[in-house]
Structure 1
Protein backbone atom coordinates (compact mmCIF):
# COMPACT_ATOMS: atom_id res chain seq x y z
CA UNK A 1 0.00 0.00 0.00
CA UNK A 2 0.87 3.67 -0.12
CA UNK A 3 2.45 5.42 2.86
CA UNK A 4 2.32 9.17 3.49
CA UNK A 5 4.84 10.44 6.05
CA UNK A 6 4.89 13.64 8.07
CA UNK A 7 8.69 13.56 7.77
CA UNK A 8 8.36 14.25 4.05
CA UNK A 9 6.58 17.52 4.86
CA UNK A 10 9.40 18.51 7.20
CA UNK A 11 12.03 17.64 4.59
CA UNK A 12 10.22 19.62 1.89
CA UNK A 13 9.97 22.64 4.19
CA UNK A 14 13.67 22.50 5.06
CA UNK A 15 14.54 22.23 1.36
CA UNK A 16 12.26 25.16 0.54
CA UNK A 17 14.10 27.33 3.09
CA UNK A 18 17.29 27.01 1.05
CA UNK A 19 15.69 28.48 -2.08
CA UNK A 20 15.66 32.15 -3.02
CA UNK A 21 12.05 31.96 -4.23
CA UNK A 22 10.21 30.12 -1.49
CA UNK A 23 6.81 28.48 -1.90
CA UNK A 24 6.14 27.71 1.75
CA UNK A 25 6.70 31.10 3.36
CA UNK A 26 3.23 30.90 5.00
CA UNK A 27 4.22 27.81 6.99
CA UNK A 28 5.20 28.91 10.50
CA UNK A 29 7.58 26.89 12.66
CA UNK A 30 4.88 26.11 15.23
CA UNK A 31 2.81 24.35 12.54
CA UNK A 32 5.45 21.62 12.42
CA UNK A 33 5.39 20.96 16.16
CA UNK A 34 1.72 21.06 17.11
CA UNK A 35 2.43 18.76 20.06
CA UNK A 36 4.26 21.68 21.66
CA UNK A 37 1.51 24.19 20.82
CA UNK A 38 -1.87 22.72 21.86
CA UNK A 39 -3.69 25.96 21.04
CA UNK A 40 -3.23 25.46 17.28
CA UNK A 41 -4.25 21.79 17.11
CA UNK A 42 -7.86 22.60 16.25
CA UNK A 43 -7.21 25.48 13.85
CA UNK A 44 -8.39 24.67 10.34
CA UNK A 45 -6.06 27.32 8.88
CA UNK A 46 -3.03 25.35 10.06
CA UNK A 47 -4.17 22.20 8.24
CA UNK A 48 -5.25 24.19 5.16
CA UNK A 49 -1.83 25.85 4.82
CA UNK A 50 0.15 22.69 5.56
CA UNK A 51 -1.89 20.28 3.42
CA UNK A 52 -2.18 22.40 0.29
CA UNK A 53 -1.39 22.15 -3.40
CA UNK A 54 1.60 24.40 -2.72
CA UNK A 55 2.96 21.86 -0.24
CA UNK A 56 2.46 19.06 -2.76
CA UNK A 57 4.35 21.10 -5.36
CA UNK A 58 7.17 21.72 -2.88
CA UNK A 59 7.44 17.99 -2.17
CA UNK A 60 7.61 17.15 -5.87
CA UNK A 61 10.18 19.91 -6.43
CA UNK A 62 12.37 18.49 -3.66
CA UNK A 63 12.00 15.00 -5.15
CA UNK A 64 13.03 16.21 -8.60
CA UNK A 65 16.18 17.66 -7.04
CA UNK A 66 16.87 14.40 -5.16
CA UNK A 67 16.56 16.17 -1.81
CA UNK A 68 13.95 13.73 -0.50
CA UNK A 69 13.26 10.08 -1.45
CA UNK A 70 10.98 9.19 -4.35
CA UNK A 71 8.56 7.45 -1.97
CA UNK A 72 7.44 10.96 -0.97
CA UNK A 73 5.23 10.93 -4.06
CA UNK A 74 2.64 9.10 -1.93
CA UNK A 75 2.76 11.95 0.58
CA UNK A 76 2.25 14.47 -2.23
CA UNK A 77 -0.77 12.49 -3.47
CA UNK A 78 -2.23 12.47 0.04
CA UNK A 79 -1.70 16.22 0.43
CA UNK A 80 -3.49 16.91 -2.87
CA UNK A 81 -6.36 14.65 -1.83
CA UNK A 82 -6.83 16.51 1.47
CA UNK A 83 -6.55 19.87 -0.28
CA UNK A 84 -9.34 18.84 -2.66
CA UNK A 85 -11.44 17.65 0.28
CA UNK A 86 -11.01 21.03 1.98
CA UNK A 87 -12.01 22.80 -1.24
CA UNK A 88 -15.15 20.71 -1.60
CA UNK A 89 -16.23 21.64 1.94
CA UNK A 90 -15.42 25.32 1.44
CA UNK A 91 -16.89 26.03 -2.00
CA UNK A 92 -17.90 29.66 -2.37
CA UNK A 93 -18.03 30.48 -6.07
CA UNK A 94 -20.91 30.24 -8.50
CA UNK A 95 -20.43 27.27 -10.86
CA UNK A 96 -18.89 28.30 -14.17
CA UNK A 97 -17.44 26.65 -17.28
CA UNK A 98 -14.66 24.86 -15.36
CA UNK A 99 -16.88 22.33 -13.61
CA UNK A 100 -13.93 20.20 -12.44
CA UNK A 101 -13.01 22.75 -9.75
CA UNK A 102 -14.12 21.72 -6.27
CA UNK A 103 -14.19 25.26 -4.84
CA UNK A 104 -17.28 25.96 -6.96
CA UNK A 105 -20.79 25.60 -5.59
CA UNK A 106 -22.26 22.11 -5.93
CA UNK A 107 -24.49 21.68 -8.96
CA UNK A 108 -25.51 18.93 -11.36
CA UNK A 109 -22.53 19.82 -13.54
CA UNK A 110 -19.78 19.78 -10.90
CA UNK A 111 -17.93 16.66 -9.78
CA UNK A 112 -18.46 16.97 -6.02
CA UNK A 113 -20.71 13.92 -5.63
CA UNK A 114 -18.43 11.61 -7.64
CA UNK A 115 -15.41 12.94 -5.73
CA UNK A 116 -17.10 12.32 -2.37
CA UNK A 117 -18.18 8.81 -3.37
CA UNK A 118 -14.58 8.06 -4.29
CA UNK A 119 -12.93 9.63 -1.26
CA UNK A 120 -15.25 7.89 1.23
CA UNK A 121 -13.85 4.56 0.02
CA UNK A 122 -10.31 5.91 0.37
CA UNK A 123 -10.86 7.25 3.89
CA UNK A 124 -12.41 3.95 5.02
CA UNK A 125 -9.13 2.23 4.11
CA UNK A 126 -6.93 4.68 6.02
CA UNK A 127 -4.68 3.28 8.73
CA UNK A 128 -2.34 5.29 10.93
CA UNK A 129 1.17 4.47 12.10
CA UNK A 130 2.39 6.02 15.34
CA UNK A 131 5.66 7.89 14.71
CA UNK A 132 7.04 6.93 18.14
CA UNK A 133 6.21 3.26 18.64
CA UNK A 134 5.15 2.21 15.13
CA UNK A 135 1.73 0.93 16.20
CA UNK A 136 -0.87 0.65 13.47
CA UNK A 137 -4.25 2.18 14.27
CA UNK A 138 -7.38 1.82 12.18
CA UNK A 139 -9.80 3.78 14.35
CA UNK A 140 -9.42 7.55 14.66
CA UNK A 141 -12.29 9.88 15.53
CA UNK A 142 -11.57 12.37 12.75
CA UNK A 143 -11.58 9.56 10.16
CA UNK A 144 -15.21 8.69 10.86
CA UNK A 145 -16.01 12.35 11.41
CA UNK A 146 -15.02 13.06 7.81
CA UNK A 147 -17.08 10.13 6.53
CA UNK A 148 -20.17 11.26 8.45
CA UNK A 149 -19.74 14.87 7.29
CA UNK A 150 -19.43 13.81 3.66
CA UNK A 151 -22.54 11.64 3.87
CA UNK A 152 -24.42 14.44 5.64
CA UNK A 153 -23.43 16.99 3.01
CA UNK A 154 -24.65 14.67 0.26
CA UNK A 155 -28.05 14.54 1.99
CA UNK A 156 -28.17 18.33 2.33
CA UNK A 157 -27.28 18.69 -1.34
CA UNK A 158 -30.15 16.36 -2.30
CA UNK A 159 -32.61 18.30 -0.13
CA UNK A 160 -31.55 21.60 -1.72
CA UNK A 161 -31.79 20.11 -5.20
CA UNK A 162 -35.31 18.83 -4.52
CA UNK A 163 -36.23 22.31 -3.26
CA UNK A 164 -35.15 23.83 -6.58
CA UNK A 165 -31.77 25.30 -5.64
CA UNK A 166 -29.50 25.75 -8.65
CA UNK A 167 -26.32 25.24 -6.63
CA UNK A 168 -25.08 25.03 -3.03
CA UNK A 169 -22.08 26.86 -1.58
CA UNK A 170 -20.71 24.63 1.15
CA UNK A 171 -18.91 27.54 2.82
CA UNK A 172 -22.35 28.70 4.01
CA UNK A 173 -22.59 25.52 6.10
CA UNK A 174 -19.41 25.92 8.12
CA UNK A 175 -19.02 27.39 11.59
CA UNK A 176 -18.55 31.06 10.63
CA UNK A 177 -22.17 31.72 9.49
CA UNK A 178 -23.50 30.05 12.65
CA UNK A 179 -21.25 32.23 14.83
CA UNK A 180 -22.38 35.29 12.90
CA UNK A 181 -26.06 34.42 13.37
CA UNK A 182 -25.75 33.99 17.14
CA UNK A 183 -23.69 37.18 17.32
CA UNK A 184 -26.56 39.06 15.66
CA UNK A 185 -29.03 37.53 18.11
CA UNK A 186 -26.89 38.62 21.07
CA UNK A 187 -26.91 42.19 19.74
CA UNK A 188 -30.69 42.46 20.16
CA UNK A 189 -31.61 44.34 23.29
CA UNK A 190 -29.04 45.25 25.93
CA UNK A 191 -26.63 42.33 26.01
CA UNK A 192 -29.06 39.61 24.93
CA UNK A 193 -26.77 36.85 26.23
CA UNK A 194 -29.34 34.62 27.92
CA UNK A 195 -32.62 34.90 25.99
CA UNK A 196 -35.70 32.82 26.66
CA UNK A 197 -36.92 30.58 23.81
CA UNK A 198 -39.51 33.21 22.89
CA UNK A 199 -36.90 36.02 22.86
CA UNK A 200 -34.50 33.86 20.84
CA UNK A 201 -37.15 33.09 18.21
CA UNK A 202 -38.16 36.75 18.02
CA UNK A 203 -34.54 37.86 17.56
CA UNK A 204 -33.99 35.14 14.96
CA UNK A 205 -37.03 36.25 12.93
CA UNK A 206 -35.68 39.81 12.96
CA UNK A 207 -32.01 39.02 12.28
CA UNK A 208 -32.48 36.81 9.22
CA UNK A 209 -34.49 39.23 7.02
CA UNK A 210 -32.42 42.21 8.22
CA UNK A 211 -29.25 40.45 7.14
CA UNK A 212 -30.74 39.53 3.76
CA UNK A 213 -31.48 43.18 2.91
CA UNK A 214 -28.31 44.54 4.51
CA UNK A 215 -25.76 46.38 2.33
CA UNK A 216 -22.84 44.99 4.35
CA UNK A 217 -20.22 42.82 2.71
CA UNK A 218 -21.79 39.37 2.36
CA UNK A 219 -18.35 37.75 2.21
CA UNK A 220 -17.18 39.23 5.50
CA UNK A 221 -16.90 37.21 8.69
CA UNK A 222 -18.89 39.62 10.89
Structure 2
Protein backbone atom coordinates (compact mmCIF):
# COMPACT_ATOMS: atom_id res chain seq x y z
CA UNK A 1 0.00 0.00 0.00
CA UNK A 2 1.23 3.47 -0.79
CA UNK A 3 1.84 5.65 2.26
CA UNK A 4 0.13 8.59 0.55
CA UNK A 5 -3.12 6.61 0.35
CA UNK A 6 -2.94 5.67 4.03
CA UNK A 7 -2.23 9.29 4.92
CA UNK A 8 -5.34 10.38 3.00
CA UNK A 9 -7.54 7.94 4.91
CA UNK A 10 -5.98 8.56 8.32
CA UNK A 11 -6.46 12.29 8.01
CA UNK A 12 -7.75 15.21 10.01
CA UNK A 13 -10.45 15.72 7.37
CA UNK A 14 -11.78 12.14 7.69
CA UNK A 15 -11.70 12.38 11.50
CA UNK A 16 -13.53 15.72 11.47
CA UNK A 17 -16.14 14.45 9.03
CA UNK A 18 -16.82 11.38 11.17
CA UNK A 19 -17.12 13.49 14.32
CA UNK A 20 -19.45 15.90 12.52
CA UNK A 21 -21.73 13.09 11.36
CA UNK A 22 -21.76 11.70 14.91
CA UNK A 23 -22.85 15.09 16.24
CA UNK A 24 -25.48 15.78 13.60
CA UNK A 25 -26.81 12.29 12.94
CA UNK A 26 -25.55 9.86 15.59
CA UNK A 27 -27.79 7.08 14.27
CA UNK A 28 -25.95 7.09 10.91
CA UNK A 29 -22.67 5.65 12.26
CA UNK A 30 -21.91 2.79 14.63
CA UNK A 31 -20.96 3.43 18.24
CA UNK A 32 -17.32 2.63 17.37
CA UNK A 33 -17.10 5.56 14.93
CA UNK A 34 -15.82 7.97 17.58
CA UNK A 35 -12.89 5.68 18.35
CA UNK A 36 -12.19 5.34 14.64
CA UNK A 37 -12.22 9.13 14.26
CA UNK A 38 -9.78 9.48 17.17
CA UNK A 39 -7.51 6.87 15.58
CA UNK A 40 -7.61 8.71 12.24
CA UNK A 41 -6.63 11.94 13.97
CA UNK A 42 -3.82 10.21 15.89
CA UNK A 43 -2.40 8.72 12.68
CA UNK A 44 -2.73 12.09 10.92
CA UNK A 45 -0.64 13.64 13.70
CA UNK A 46 1.89 10.80 13.55
CA UNK A 47 2.36 11.32 9.79
CA UNK A 48 2.62 15.11 10.26
CA UNK A 49 5.20 14.73 13.03
CA UNK A 50 7.66 12.84 10.82
CA UNK A 51 7.09 14.80 7.61
CA UNK A 52 7.63 18.40 8.68
CA UNK A 53 9.73 20.28 6.18
CA UNK A 54 9.51 23.98 7.01
CA UNK A 55 10.82 25.73 10.10
CA UNK A 56 7.40 27.30 10.64
CA UNK A 57 3.95 25.94 9.83
CA UNK A 58 0.36 26.69 10.79
CA UNK A 59 0.16 23.04 11.88
CA UNK A 60 2.52 22.53 14.83
CA UNK A 61 3.50 18.94 14.04
CA UNK A 62 4.01 19.64 10.33
CA UNK A 63 7.12 21.73 10.83
CA UNK A 64 10.78 20.88 11.35
CA UNK A 65 11.74 19.55 14.77
CA UNK A 66 13.29 22.15 17.05
CA UNK A 67 14.29 22.22 20.72
CA UNK A 68 10.94 23.56 21.91
CA UNK A 69 8.64 22.00 19.32
CA UNK A 70 5.66 19.85 20.29
CA UNK A 71 7.20 16.85 18.54
CA UNK A 72 9.04 15.69 21.65
CA UNK A 73 5.96 15.31 23.85
CA UNK A 74 3.89 13.96 20.97
CA UNK A 75 6.49 11.31 20.11
CA UNK A 76 6.64 10.10 23.74
CA UNK A 77 2.85 9.77 23.88
CA UNK A 78 2.68 8.24 20.39
CA UNK A 79 5.23 5.58 21.35
CA UNK A 80 3.09 4.68 24.38
CA UNK A 81 -0.02 4.58 22.20
CA UNK A 82 1.59 2.35 19.59
CA UNK A 83 3.01 0.08 22.32
CA UNK A 84 -0.50 -0.35 23.72
CA UNK A 85 -1.98 -1.47 20.38
CA UNK A 86 -2.93 -5.12 20.20
CA UNK A 87 -4.79 -6.95 17.46
CA UNK A 88 -6.75 -10.19 17.58
CA UNK A 89 -6.42 -13.11 15.22
CA UNK A 90 -9.55 -15.04 14.29
CA UNK A 91 -8.60 -17.64 16.93
CA UNK A 92 -8.49 -14.92 19.62
CA UNK A 93 -4.69 -14.76 19.90
CA UNK A 94 -3.21 -11.29 20.31
CA UNK A 95 -0.46 -9.98 18.05
CA UNK A 96 1.21 -6.71 17.06
CA UNK A 97 1.32 -5.65 13.43
CA UNK A 98 4.80 -5.14 11.94
CA UNK A 99 3.67 -1.64 10.91
CA UNK A 100 3.02 -0.74 14.55
CA UNK A 101 6.44 -2.10 15.58
CA UNK A 102 8.03 -0.03 12.79
CA UNK A 103 6.29 3.16 13.96
CA UNK A 104 7.72 2.56 17.44
CA UNK A 105 11.23 1.99 16.05
CA UNK A 106 10.95 5.04 13.78
CA UNK A 107 9.80 7.38 16.54
CA UNK A 108 12.44 6.13 18.96
CA UNK A 109 15.03 6.53 16.19
CA UNK A 110 13.93 10.08 15.45
CA UNK A 111 14.12 10.95 19.14
CA UNK A 112 17.66 9.56 19.30
CA UNK A 113 18.66 11.29 16.06
CA UNK A 114 17.29 14.62 17.26
CA UNK A 115 19.06 14.44 20.65
CA UNK A 116 22.35 13.44 19.03
CA UNK A 117 22.25 16.13 16.36
CA UNK A 118 21.01 18.82 18.72
CA UNK A 119 23.90 18.07 21.08
CA UNK A 120 26.23 18.67 18.10
CA UNK A 121 24.75 22.13 17.49
CA UNK A 122 21.99 21.44 14.98
CA UNK A 123 18.89 23.57 15.47
CA UNK A 124 16.42 21.85 13.14
CA UNK A 125 15.58 18.39 11.88
CA UNK A 126 13.52 18.37 8.71
CA UNK A 127 11.67 15.50 7.05
CA UNK A 128 12.51 16.90 3.63
CA UNK A 129 14.93 14.53 1.88
CA UNK A 130 17.20 17.21 0.42
CA UNK A 131 17.26 19.15 3.70
CA UNK A 132 17.43 16.53 6.44
CA UNK A 133 19.75 18.46 8.74
CA UNK A 134 20.00 22.18 9.00
CA UNK A 135 21.69 24.72 11.21
CA UNK A 136 20.11 28.10 11.79
CA UNK A 137 21.69 30.30 9.07
CA UNK A 138 21.27 33.38 11.25
CA UNK A 139 23.28 31.93 14.17
CA UNK A 140 27.05 32.04 13.95
| TM-score, structure 2 normalization | 0.82
1:52 aligns with 2:7: no
**Contact conserved, 1:95 with 1:104, CA < 8 A, in 2?**
yes
Determine which of 135, 152, 168 is the counterpart of 2:109.
152
How far 1:88 moved relative to its partner? 0.6
Q: How does 1:85-104 map to 2 (within 5 A)?
A: 85-95=46-56, 101-104=60-63
Mapped partners of 2:107, 2:88: distance in 1: 24
Aligned length: 128
Determine which of 138, 143, 164 is the counterpart of 2:100.
143
Q: How does 1:1-222 map to 2 (within 5 A)?
A: 41=1, 43-64=2-23, 65-66=25-26, 67-95=28-56, 101-130=60-89, 133=90, 135-172=92-129
| TM-score, structure 1 normalization | 0.53
- Runs of 4+ with >4 A deviation: none
Unaligned runs of at least 5 residues, structure 2 = 131-140
Q: 1:92 to 1:53 in 2, by over 3 A?
A: same
Mapped partners of 1:44, 1:91: distance in 2: 15
Q: 1:134 to 1:91 in 2, by over 3 A?
A: farther
Higher relative contact order (CA 8 A, sep 6+): 2
How far 1:128 moved relative to its partner? 1.5
Unaligned runs of at least 5 residues, structure 1 = 1-40, 178-222
Mapped partners of 1:111, 1:60: distance in 2: 24
Mapped partners of 1:149, 1:124: distance in 2: 13
| Structure index of larger Rg | 1
Q: Secondary structure at the match of 1:115?
A: helix
